């Protein structure tokens, strides 16, 4: 699997985590710094949360359980009450 494929899979995993069972919508991420970082925007009704992740984190998302656990915690924290 190439680094680009791993990044795409990382974006898919994050989108699944944020969208799964929650009223959160994830916009298509934007790449910055020649693809070394990615800007995400998550919305829940009128609430907007944005964050950036490095390409390295996205590439490691599938194989690193801790990243998924933290993403789940973050999604719960920003989700609608």
Domain ranges for the chain: 3-78
- Cα of 65 vs its chain's centroid, Å: 14
pTM, two decimals, is 0.87
Residue-level pLDDT at 22: 73
Summarize pLDDT for 4-16 with one digit per residue, the tens.
999 999 999 999 9
pLDDT digits (tens, 9 = 90+) for 47-81: 899 999 999 999 999 999 999 999 999 999 887 65
Orientation angle between helical segments 3-19 and 65-78, nearest 10 degrees: 40
CATH of span 3-78: 3.30.160
């Amino acid at each position: 699997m190439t680094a680009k494929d791993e990044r795409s899979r990382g974006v898919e995993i994050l989108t699944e985590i944020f969208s799964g069972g929650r009223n959160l919508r994830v916009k298509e991420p934007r790449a910055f710094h020649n693809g070394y970082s990615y800007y995400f925007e998550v919305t829940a009704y009128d609430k907007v949360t944005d964050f950036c992740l490095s390409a390295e984190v996205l590439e490691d998302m599938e194989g690193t359980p801790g990243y998924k656990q933290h993403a789940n915690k973050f999604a719960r924290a920003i989700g609608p009450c």
